[in-house]
Structure 1
Amino acid sequence: MASSDTNGTKLPLKQIPGSYGIPFFGPMSDRHDYFYHQGRDKFFATRIQKYKSTVIRTNMPPGPFISSNPRVIALLDAVSFPILFDNSKVDKRDVLDGTFMPSTSFFGGYRVCAFQDTTEPSHALIKTFYLNLLASKHASFIPLFRNNLAEHFADLEDKLAGKSSKVSFNTSVGSASFNFLFRLLTGQDPTSTVIGSDGPSLVTTWLAAQLAPLATLGLPWIFNYVEDILIRTLPFPAWTVKSSYKKLYNGFASAGSSVLDEAERLGIKRDEACHNLVFTLGFNAQGGFVNQFPILMKWVGLGGEGLHKQLAEEIRSVVKEENGVSLQALDRMTLTKSVVYEAMRIEPAVPFQYAKARKDLVVESHDAAYEIKKGEMIFGYQPFATKDPKIFEKPEEFVANRFVGPDGEKLLNHVLWSNARETEEPTPDNKQCPAKNLVVLLCRLYLVEFFLRYDTFSFDFKLAVLGPEITIKSLLKASY
């Protein structure tokens, strides 16, 4: 360890506590604690308590079979976590899904941009393509999403008015999200391609095969070992979802020809660009939105009619004063903005971050410093970083106005959902989500459109593999 690395901290330098256990049996024990005996949050909380540290050594699923090395250094506080964003210190090569990587056969044989490190030349090239593409579509964001939401709300109302007394929010918003994303990127409707109306189900099937080792189906305990052997002994082969992926690829290749033309002008092979865009649309965007919108509405719903009234009053008054829904109007809605950030803070849609130490380094927590050796896997559990009690008051509570005002805005530095701080911006040279600002915009816009139409709503929810499943029970039409 270079002296400058250790001399740069004034905190006491400590050994990282924790244990990986006996080979094979240690990872298996941790895996069963994580999935079946304790659950995610308790798994980490008990180890923090045991070792009196928020930086610990442990094993992370899916090892020991699919993962050749499940050993990680876990960062479980707001101070240590952001080292995962420092590309001078960490390498993000092939660590998107954690301690294992799905076969590139899922992505047409390419290591798509999300699996590339910032030092790889193609990373900056492909991410520049993404950023340019989004910039070129900027004027379409609001009108196109509003049109898709109109279809979504009509779908909810029609089903509630029918025989069913409740309707799946996830299914409805999933269709709206996919249609929006496909129309935004290609200018065409997916129903005009081989995808038809099956886009969301095709994406779900494709994602499930890749991410199965990281999930649990919530079966009765007597099936735990059967599930564990079936989905975490060997990875699912890509051929099992080949037909689903082929439809997505062919649909985008035909509808997105002008986008792919631009990729070729930048020097990206047409086939590679198409596989990257399908991954971005399916994994990053659709996979993210299908989780993010239910999370948002879960917490807004739990806020009750009092919060609904406050949101409706702010949204309707600003829209009236601005003579419509615009970027300027959205920016004036301080409570609406805060609610979106608070949902992202309290339940980040992607709770994990992984990286490998690019060199020997020192990471600091609130009260100590720890040495990490080059090549060691670093893991961050974001919900513990964004609910750090030394940063946030009442961290386990949903505080709707938490980010309102100058003091609240300062806390945005600790909102980390986009693979960087909320106060930072995506560039070709970092790993921050290229659509970070679009995601925030669409979440705000969803609330605006919702509370322009409805005064309140009732719902149920349950936890599922990809996040909360929301069931809408009633929608009370706006009374103004």
Structure 2
Amino acid sequence: MSSFSENYPSAVPSDVLPLREIPGGYGLPFFGPIKDRIDYYYNQGPDEFFRARIKKYNSTVYRVNGPPGPFNAKDPRVVVVLDAVSFPILFDTSKVLKKNVFTGTFMPSTHFTGGYRVCSYLDPSEPKHAILKGFFLSLLDRLHKELIPTFRSAAAQLFADLEAELSDNGQANFNPISDKMSFDFLFRLFAGKSSYDTHVGGGGNANLDKWLFFQLAPLITLGLKFLPNCVEDWLLHTFPLPYFVVKSGYEKVHDAFDEAAGKLLDEAEKQGLSRDEASHNLMFLTGFNSYGGTKLLFPALLKYVGTGGEDLHRRLAAEIRAVVKEEGGVTLAALEKISLTKSVVWEALRMEPPIQFQYAKAKQDITIRSHEASYVIKKGETICGYQPIATKDPKVFVNPEEFVADRFLGSGEKLIKYVYWSNGRETDNPTADNKQCPAKDMVVLLSRMMLVEFFIRYDTFSVEAGKLLLGSSVTFKSVTRAE
């Protein structure tokens, strides 16, 4: 079977597509956004919320009130784009503005980030953006050689902890073990020393978890049976949660990071940044972008691989071990040669992007297209893209709802550009002038390395998967060590 749809790519020129009015609407002031918010969080859930309206309007582009609605959002009205063709308008900063839309139609207080609008909230047109992102890119480039040995050391401890919990309890909850490993790995990578060698000790990731939750609470539903929906909605989605509750935990981690990363901050000052602003930006890159991303990334990856079955495990183990032996170890060259492993990583990113939403505001009246029609978005309107649907576009991918391990092998490689998760196409590269995740290549590399480290050690494994506030939960039921 072909890995891509017979309709790929859409062969209809944009200038002959019919120009349609964008369907949908926002309802009555105040009450319309409240109704859509209740549907989104409680009546339907995110996927069904968007899919039901695709069916209702017979369109992957429509108007609706996006989460979290009043009162957190100044204006919840959005134009939603939910197919592979319309979605990339969100990446085109010549036509859209990316100022203060990192978390959508609301923005957490800058108290959470030392009083600064950090790089993620800046538009490329703002002078500070190029300086900050250029600093991040140069930093990641310098750390490239440290990535493999630092991660291998962290992974060894991860799997030792996993095996110990399996031995003691008969099962192992992967998420907290992974979070603990990810935090110390990233702290060690960016700051040059283990968090355990600072006053943070082993509690750094717990402090960051609270810091992340208080910023993202308006986008979350707890799903607690004893808590009525109306009470949770009032608590989480009506008013932003205050910073002072998590202030001491954030400052504890930030102070340790600030001290340990002194050489990096010296370099930032040479590039024209104030030391304090660079410090909070680096903390955000490490704690929100990187640690927050790996909290979702690694569990999702092992969920899909784990449920892929023993045949997939056998194929991955054979490929990884053969290439590692041929290359004389785990090297960058080896990580480029493991074709099936690379395909699996991209497929996991397609199935469950670690970032669900992308937002932007139209700089001018712009014409966008879907597979079937063209639409005009007016200047100033907010555009919202929900990636878990756009990356499952049935007119691009065959069996889009299924995890297909070898989807991106052979001729399937041409579909990689439709893997949207990094605020850009997978075939694009982050620069100081765009909004693509600066650590995009590192994320993909870490995912490959996680599978390499796993299948060097184990032949197969079994898991149970569930849902958390954000992302998937994974519980290991068994692992079989390689002989």
Give your verdict on TM over 0.5: yes
Q: In the alignment, which residue of structure 2 is the partner of 1:260?
A: 265
Q: Among 163, 166, 174, which residue is 1:157 paired with?
A: 163
Mapped contact 2:186–2:286 kept (Cα < 8 A): yes
More moved, 224-233 vs 263-272: 224-233
Note the alpha carbon deviations across 1:84-127, whole angstroms, 9 max, x for none. 00000010000011000001011010000000000000000000
Q: In the alignment, which residue of structure 2 is the partner of 1:414?
A: 418
Query: Does 2:283 correspond to 1:278?
Result: yes
Q: Among 333, 339, 347, which residue is 2:352 paired with?
A: 347
TM-score by length of 2: 0.96
Query: Does 2:179 correspond to 1:170?
Result: no
Q: Among 180, 186, 189, which residue is 2:185 paired with?
A: 180
Matches within 5 A, 1:239-388: 239-388=244-393
Distance 2:301 2:227 in 1: 34
Distance 1:366 1:221 in 2: 44
Distance 1:135 1:229 in 2: 44
Mapped contact 2:307–2:462 kept (Cα < 8 A): no
How much identity, in percent, do the aligned residues show?
Answer: 57
TM superposition shift of 1:220: 2.3
Distance 1:337 1:200 in 2: 28
3-state SS of paired residue (1:471): strand
- Structure 1 segments of 4+ aligned residues over 3 angstroms from their partners: none
Mapped contact 1:363–1:370 kept (Cα < 8 A): yes
Q: In the comparison of the two structures, how many residue pairs are matched?
A: 471
Distance 1:370 1:476 in 2: 54
3-state SS of paired residue (2:367): strand
Q: In the alignment, which residue of structure 2 is the partner of 1:429?
A: 433
Task: Quote the RMSD (CA, aligned, Å).
Answer: 1.1
Distance 2:236 2:420 in 1: 30
TM superposition shift of 1:393: 0.7
Q: Among 139, 143, 146, which residue is 1:133 paired with?
A: 139
Distance 1:61 1:265 in 2: 41
* AA aligned opposite 2:295: V
Q: In the alignment, which residue of structure 1 is the partner of 2:121?
A: 115
Query: Does 2:82 correspond to 1:82?
Result: no
Mapped contact 2:456–2:482 kept (Cα < 8 A): yes
Q: Among 449, 452, 461, which residue is 1:445 paired with?
A: 449
TM superposition shift of 1:474: 1.3
Distance 2:130 2:15 in 1: 32
Q: In the alignment, which residue of structure 2 is the partner of 1:94?
A: 100
Note the alpha carbon deviations across 1:304-334, whole angstroms, 9 max, x for none. 1111011011111111111111111111110
Q: In the alignment, which residue of structure 2 is the partner of 1:104?
A: 110
Q: In the alignment, which residue of structure 2 is the partner of 1:3?
A: none
Q: In the alignment, which residue of structure 1 is the partner of 2:471?
A: 467
Q: In the alignment, which residue of structure 2 is the partner of 1:144?
A: 150
Distance 1:385 1:315 in 2: 31
* AA aligned opposite 1:61: P
Q: Among 189, 195, 201, which residue is 1:196 paired with?
A: 201
Note the alpha carbon deviations across 1:320-349, whole angstroms, 9 max, x for none. 111111111111110000000000011111
* AA aligned opposite 2:413: E
3-state SS of paired residue (1:457): strand
TM superposition shift of 1:10: 2.5
TM superposition shift of 1:8: 7.2
* AA aligned opposite 1:440: V
3-state SS of paired residue (2:309): helix
More moved, 195-204 vs 254-263: 195-204
Which 5+ residue runs of structure 1 have no aligned equivalent?
Answer: 1-6
Q: In the alignment, which residue of structure 2 is the partner of 1:230?
A: 235
3-state SS of paired residue (1:319): helix
Note the alpha carbon deviations across 1:412-461, whole angstroms, 9 max, x for none. 11011111001010000000011111110110011011001001111111
3-state SS of paired residue (1:73): strand
Mapped contact 1:174–1:289 kept (Cα < 8 A): yes
* AA aligned opposite 1:202: N
3-state SS of paired residue (2:290): helix
Distance 1:165 1:378 in 2: 47
* AA aligned opposite 1:372: I
Query: Does 2:21 correspond to 1:15?
Result: yes
Mapped contact 1:457–1:472 kept (Cα < 8 A): yes
Mapped contact 2:300–2:471 kept (Cα < 8 A): yes
3-state SS of paired residue (1:212): helix
Distance 1:9 1:28 in 2: 38
Q: Among 451, 458, 465, which residue is 1:454 paired with?
A: 458
* AA aligned opposite 1:377: T
TM superposition shift of 1:204: 0.4
More moved, 273-282 vs 456-465: 456-465
* AA aligned opposite 1:145: F
Q: Among 53, 57, 71, which residue is 2:77 paired with?
A: 71
TM superposition shift of 1:222: 6.3
